[in-house]
C-alpha cells in the first residue's frame, strides 16, 4: 500500500502516518497480519527522524492495531481488532464536537452531515454498515 505524506501540512507527520495506516486497515488494503516496514526502514524511506515514525507506531501499538515483535518485525494486528469501547466512543465524540460545531455554524443540516458520514464510511469499508 502507498502512503502519501504532506511535509508542509499543519497536521504533524506522525498523525498523518497513524491516520493513513488506520485508513489502510479500514479499507482492507492492509490485511490482518500483513507486515509493515521497521521503524528504521520507514524513516529512511520518508527521510524523517526515527522518533517521528516511532511515535506513530507506538500510538498504533498501544491502541492494539499493530504488533511490534523483536524477530517478526512490525505486523498489522492478526487477530481481532480492538473493539469500539465506551472510552473510544467518548474520545470520538470529543474529536467530532468541533467538526459538528463548525457545520452548525455554517448552517449545514443534520441529515446532510449524516449523509456525508455514511458515504465516507461505505466508500472506505466497501460495504453497507447498516
Partner 1 sequence: MSEATMHVIMQSIPWVILIMATILLPMLRRKSVSFGIALPIDKLNAPEVLRIRRRYMLSCAVIGAAELALGLSFIGREGGSGSAGAVLIGFLPLVYLFIATLLFIRANRQTARLKAELGWQVPEPRFVAVDTTPRRFSGAISIWWYTIPIGLILLEAGILAVYYDRLPDILNVHYHGSTVDRVEPKSLKTVFLPNLIQLLVVGLLAAVSQSIKTSKRELDPNDPEGSSERSRRLRRNGTFLLWGISLLTTVEFGLVQFGLVGWLSSNVATIAAAVVMPLVFIGFAIAFAAKMSMPTGKAAGYGTPVNDDRFWKAGLFYFNPDDPAVIVEKRVGIGWTVNFGHPIGWLVLASPLLVALITLLISLL
Binding mask 96-125 vs partner 1 (x if CB under 8 A, - otherwise)? Answer: ------------------------------
Which strand ranges, in their side-by-side order, compose the sheet holding 73-76? 35-36, 73-76, 66-69
Q: Determine, following the binding rule CB under 8 A, whether residue 18 of this chain makes contact with partner 1.
A: no
What is the Cα–Cα distance from 32 to 24, expressed in whole angstroms?
A: 11
Which one of 28, 32, 33, 35 is in contact with partner 1 (CB under 8 A)?
35
48 binds partner 1 (CB under 8 A): yes
Instruction: Tell whether residue 24 is a contact of partner 1 (CB under 8 A).
Output: yes
Cβ burial, residue 103 (10 Å; 0-12/13-18/19+): middle
Least separation, in Å, of the C-beta of 117 and partner 1? 27
Amino acid at each position: 500500500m502507498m502512503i502519501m505524506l504532506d511535509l508542509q501540512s499543519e497536521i504533524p507527520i506522525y498523525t498523518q502516518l497513524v491516520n493513513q495506516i488506520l485508513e489502510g486497515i479500514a479499507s482492507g488494503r492492509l490485511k490482518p497480519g500483513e507486515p509493515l516496514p521497521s521503524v528504521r526502514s520507514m524513516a529512511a524511506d520518508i527521510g524523517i527522524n526515527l522518533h517521528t515514525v516511532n511515535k506513530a507506531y507506538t500510538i498504533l501499538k498501544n491502541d492494539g492495531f499493530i504488533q511490534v515483535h523483536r524477530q517478526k518485525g512490525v505486523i498489522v494486528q492478526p487477530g481481532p481488532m480492538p473493539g469500539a469501547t465506551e472510552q473510544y466512543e467518548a474520545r470520538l465524540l470529543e474529536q467530532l464536537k468541533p467538526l459538528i460545531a463548525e457545520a452548525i455554524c455554517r448552517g449545514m443540516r443534520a441529515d446532510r452531515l449524516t449523509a456525508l458520514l455514511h458515504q465516507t464510511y461505505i466508500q472506505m469499508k466497501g460495504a453497507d454498515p447498516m
